Amino acid sequence: TDWSRVGPNVIHVAGGPEPHIIGMSGRVIGGHEVAPNSIPYMAAVRPDGTGFCGASLIHPEWGLTAAHCVDSASYTLLVLGAHRVLQNEATQQVVPSRSIIIHPQYNSTTLQNDIALVHLQHPVTESNIVRPIPIAPTNSGSFAEVIGYLTGWGYTSDDNPTLAPTLQGVELRIISTAECRIYAGSWAYEDNVCTHGFNGEHNVGGCFGDSGSPLVAQGVQVGVVSFGSGQCASGSITSFARVNSYANWINQHINA
Which among 20, 56, 103, 114 is annotated as catalytic?
114
The architecture in CATH of the region 42-132+246-254 reads: Beta Barrel (2.40)
- How does pLDDT run across 86-128, given as a tens digit for each residue? 899 999 999 999 999 999 999 998 999 999 999 999 999 999 9
Is 158 an annotated catalytic residue? Answer: no
Name the pTM for this structure.
Answer: 0.86
Domains 11-34+135-244 and 42-132+246-254 share a fold: yes
Among residues 97, 211, 229, 236, which one is catalytic? 211
Q: Does the active-site annotation cover 157?
A: no
**Phi/psi of residue 165, nearest 5 degrees:** -65, -25
Distance CA 164, CA 69 (A): 18
Helices (H), strands (E): how many in the chain? Answer: 3, 17
How do residues 166-185 score in pLDDT, each as one tens digit?
998 888 889 999 998 887 88
**Residue 191: active-site member:** no
Spelled out in words, what is the top-level CATH class assigned to the domain 11-34+135-244? Answer: mainly beta
For the chain, give every domain's residue range.
Answer: 11-34+135-244, 42-132+246-254
